[in-house]
Amino acid sequence: MKYTFPEGFKLGATGAGWQMEGETDKRPDQKHFPHLMWENDRENWYLGLGPDVASDFYGHFREDIPMFRKAGILQYRFNIDWSRFLDDYENVVVNEKAAQYYSDVIDCLIENGIEPVLCLEHWELPAALYEKYDGYASRHVVDLYARYAREAFRRYGDRVKTWFTFNEPMVIPELCFLNGFWWPKEHQPARAFRWIHGKILCTARAVEIFRQELPEGKIGVIVNPPYIIPRDANNPADAEAADVADNFYWRPFMDTAILGHYPQKFLDILQRENVMFDLTEEDKALIAKNTVDILGMNYYQPMRVKAKETPWDDSQPFHPNKYFDNYDMPGKRMNPYRGWEIYPRSLYDIGMRIKREYHNIDWVVSESGMGVQNEEQYKNAEGIIQDTYRIEFIAEHLAWLSKAVAEGCNCHGYWLFASIDNCSPYNTFKNRYGLVEVDRKQNLKRRLKASADWYRAAAESNSFDFKEI
């Protein structure tokens, strides 16, 4: 069957600053937060590899960007590394070499017929601001972020018309301070929620500044809620469990950014559990006034939940799992390398929910992709990776998305994660995501994968063939 997207819908891809750029030309005191995660927990990073070299996009971008165009990428979302961009975070003194590098990347994208889209943060909080102030838990850091944002808008707003404040603002507070999963491996819920609130304030502040600086442009935030599915929607206990999960994992960034307020149930639970952050009347007014124009939705897998069955001990620090259990659905389809469920239908359900509950805001799928280990085994005689699994993965997600678009949801893009193989947090180069291979055994040599040809054909015709869903 042939699937076609309407005019204006674009295929693109995502690049993540610290996961691709490498740290060439940075001073030792210009570290970002993921560098701290790596430096302090290196033995748990795959082969000890980390963000220092990454894919060295910094050194290869003039070679990479024409390859991105050959792979059909028409829009490219990447980000400024805040820790690289400034020499002095307190006084917003720009590092001119870094500023020139981002300017050159933007020009190179435009010269190659790719629309640049900029994000201000993909977790690259400067290490100094983490160490001195505990990052986004601090209102001073919120101020510094706002000043950094203004400077970035002024530098690149002439050529970049679509901006995002954060990529996945939930991930660091959740995995580092709530779940204790990534360094510094804390279980400090109050701290995690202070970080989340700080990032929500940063988004509102950046939107406010954006309206003054670039009134013609569009600004949004990129979230990864995930999409929550109850074990049995007709069972009230499962439905209630899903509603609590939704209040913690879907609603905080979605509701504040698009509707201009926090979900009440989320605030009530935080109060009850004594982990509430400081929410002033001024904060509420700022959030209400500065909602976004566009939403970026990263989608990898759903979150399945069921009513609480395992015991909960109140002497341990609070966690949302006090109210629900994760549901390991028998027979679910898996990407065995990443250990993530494959469930493309969520893109349709997400589109319909955004249409219904979030005034059908403009949105894009800002990340979707499949990480696969040992891809060299799929090389043909010419050494090209035949990643038919990736083509199928993309096509099936696009098919569900096109159904949502056909039913009136306002999605106008799908950006694959990722343009090029890159450094995942902890998994480093284990799972490969790119349309472009980075061969670490051959001096980071780049080669297009088979999926690049498929993606180009789909991007240029805005259509593709796939089985009926």
Q: Collapsing DSSP states into helix, strand and coil, what is residue 193? A: helix
Our finding on whether 168 is near ligand BGP (CB under 6 A) is yes
Our finding on whether 225 is near ligand BGP (CB under 6 A) is no
User: What is the rounded CA–CA span in Å between residue 113 and residue 119?
Assistant: 19
Q: Are 358 and 259 in contact (CB under 8 A)?
A: yes
Tell which one of 162, 256, 346, 424 touches ligand BGP (CB under 6 A).
Answer: 424
Q: Build a one-symbol-per-residue string for 330-349: x at contacts with ligand BGP by CB under 6 A, - elsewhere.
A: --------x-----------
Nearer to ligand BGP, 171 or 384 (CB): 171
User: What is the rounded CA–CA span in Å between residue 80 and residue 160?
Assistant: 12
Our finding on whether 368 is near ligand BGP (CB under 6 A) is no
Task: Say how many residues touch ligand BGP, by CB under 6 A.
Answer: 15
User: What is the rounded CA–CA span in Å between residue 63 and residue 419?
Assistant: 13
Our finding on whether 19 is near ligand BGP (CB under 6 A) is yes
Tell which one of 11, 16, 65, 411 touches ligand BGP (CB under 6 A).
Answer: 16
Tell which one of 417, 429, 454, 464 touches ligand BGP (CB under 6 A).
Answer: 417
Of the chain, the end-to-end C-alpha distance in Å amounts to 9
Q: Hey, CA dihedral for 180, 185, 187, 189, is it positive or negative?
A: negative
Tell which one of 34, 225, 425, 434 touches ligand BGP (CB under 6 A).
Answer: 425
Nearer to ligand BGP, 294 or 423 (CB): 423
Nearer to ligand BGP, 16 or 354 (CB): 16
* Least distance (Å) between residue 278 CB and ligand BGP: 28
Q: Is 367 assigned a catalytic role?
A: yes
With b for 16 or more beta-carbon neighbours within 10 A and e for fewer, the 255-294 pattern comes to: bbbbbbebbeebbebbeebebbbeeeeebeebbeebbbbb
Among 151-159, 166-174, 201-209, 309-317, which window interacts with ligand BGP (CB under 6 A)?
166-174
- The single residue of 21, 23, 121, 168 carrying the catalytic annotation is 168
* Least distance (Å) between residue 419 CB and ligand BGP: 11
* Least distance (Å) between residue 18 CB and ligand BGP: 9
User: What is the rounded CA–CA span in Å between residue 372 and residue 370?
Assistant: 6
Our finding on whether 75 is near ligand BGP (CB under 6 A) is no
Nearer to ligand BGP, 230 or 371 (CB): 371
The residue to which tokens 């049995």 are assigned = 232
User: What is the rounded CA–CA span in Å between residue 56 and residue 53?
Assistant: 6
Nearer to ligand BGP, 171 or 239 (CB): 171
- The single residue of 121, 151, 367, 437 carrying the catalytic annotation is 367
Our finding on whether 431 is near ligand BGP (CB under 6 A) is yes
Residue nearest to ligand BGP (CB): 424
Q: Which of residues 289-308 bind ligand BGP (CB under 6 A)?
A: 298
The residues pairing with 326 across neighbouring beta strands, listed in sequence order, are 305
The residues pairing with 446 across neighbouring beta strands, listed in sequence order, are 438
Q: Are 221 and 253 in contact (CB under 8 A)?
A: yes
For residue 213, which of 166, 258, 149 has the smallest C-alpha distance?
Answer: 149
Which residues have C-beta within 8 Å of that of residue 441, sequence separation ≥ 6? none
For 181, 433, 437, 469, the CA distances from 389, given in Å and listed in that order, are 29, 12, 15, 17
* Least distance (Å) between residue 303 CB and ligand BGP: 13
Among 111-119, 199-207, 383-391, 425-433, which window interacts with ligand BGP (CB under 6 A)?
425-433
Q: Is 357 assigned a catalytic role?
A: no
Nearer to ligand BGP, 335 or 402 (CB): 335
DSSP string computed for 288-346:
HH---SEEEEE-S--EEEE---S---TTSPP-GGGS-EE---TT--EETTTTEE--TTH
Tell which one of 21, 64, 367, 437 touches ligand BGP (CB under 6 A).
Answer: 367
Among 29-37, 163-171, 181-189, 399-407, which window interacts with ligand BGP (CB under 6 A)?
163-171
Residue 181: count other Cβ atoms within 10 Å of its Cβ. 11
Q: Are 396 and 344 in contact (CB under 8 A)?
A: yes
* Least distance (Å) between residue 285 CB and ligand BGP: 31
Binding region for ligand BGP (CB under 6 A) = 16, 19, 167-168, 171, 224, 298, 338, 367, 371, 417, 424-425, 427, 431
Active-site residue list: 168, 367
